[in-house]
Amino acid sequence: MTLFRGPIYLTDSVVQEICLRAKIGYEKKMKAETFGFLFGTIDKNKRLVVKKAVYYRGGKKSRSGVVFKHWSQVWHALNRRTELANRFRLRFLGNFHSHVEIGGEVFRGLSADDKESFRLDRNAIIEVVVSIWQSENKEVQPIARGLAGYDPRTGYQYRIKAYTKKGNRIYQTSIKYELTDGIVISV
């Protein structure tokens, strides 16, 4: 049974929040990935809309990942996302995290650890990754099935990709950007 039909719709506030969190992690002295939860709805037409992104402070964050070392940390994260879903009256949809530039390189897909974590989380149906790096190139290069952006104030490039899973398979799915007033921008 298919839970939703692509593409995934991200609201303006979600895109703003995940890019802000990526920027904050990128600007840390030792750069750090960020991590959070995604909440939203799946309507009767199987349209998935991500309406809220919430940064999660837990876990050990480094340049190459976010790690939960003890089961107590995992249980705390699971309880927190359930609590937030109830408070927002939205469905927990999945997680977001960032990939930061390290030594001039940025990983733009899902790492083996990302895939394993996503597969093991039975309640997560999507995973959104925002990649961030410094660039003198002010041109925004469109990417297939994702969102691309450039912030002229900072010189940062952003790439946002979404993934879903079917059985044990993970694949990239298309994203559409929905502005607060309901206008959908197709990229």
* Spans of all domains in the chain: 5-185
Q: Is pLDDT above 50 for 150?
A: yes
pLDDT at 179: 64
Q: How confident is the model at residue 32 (pLDDT cuts 50, 70, 90)?
A: confident
Question: Tell me: the pLDDT tens digits for 85-141?
Answer: 999 999 999 999 988 776 767 776 787 788 888 888 889 999 999 989 888 877 887
Q: Is pLDDT above 60 for 167?
A: yes
pLDDT at 111: 78
Q: For the chain, how many residues are written? A: 187
Give the burial class of 43: count Cβ atoms within 10 A of its Cβ; 0-12 exposed, 13-18 middle, 19 or more buried: exposed
> Tokens representing 83?
């609590």
Give the burial class of 87: count Cβ atoms within 10 A of its Cβ; 0-12 exposed, 13-18 middle, 19 or more buried: exposed
- Contact of 118 with 85, CB cutoff 8 Å: no
pLDDT at 1: 47
Average pLDDT over residues 63-74: 64
> Tokens representing 93?
């949809």
Please state, in angstroms and rounded to a whole number, the distance separating the CA atoms of residues 6 and 120. 22
Please state, in angstroms and rounded to a whole number, the distance separating the CA atoms of residues 164 and 51. 17
Tell which residue, 155, 160, 158, has the closest CA to residue 137.
Answer: 155
- Contact of 80 with 12, CB cutoff 8 Å: no
1-10, 31-40, 55-64, 139-148: range with lowest mean pLDDT: 55-64
Q: What is the DSSP letter of 102?
A: B
Q: What CATH fold (topology level) applies to the domain 5-185? A: Cytidine Deaminase; domain 2 (3.40.140)
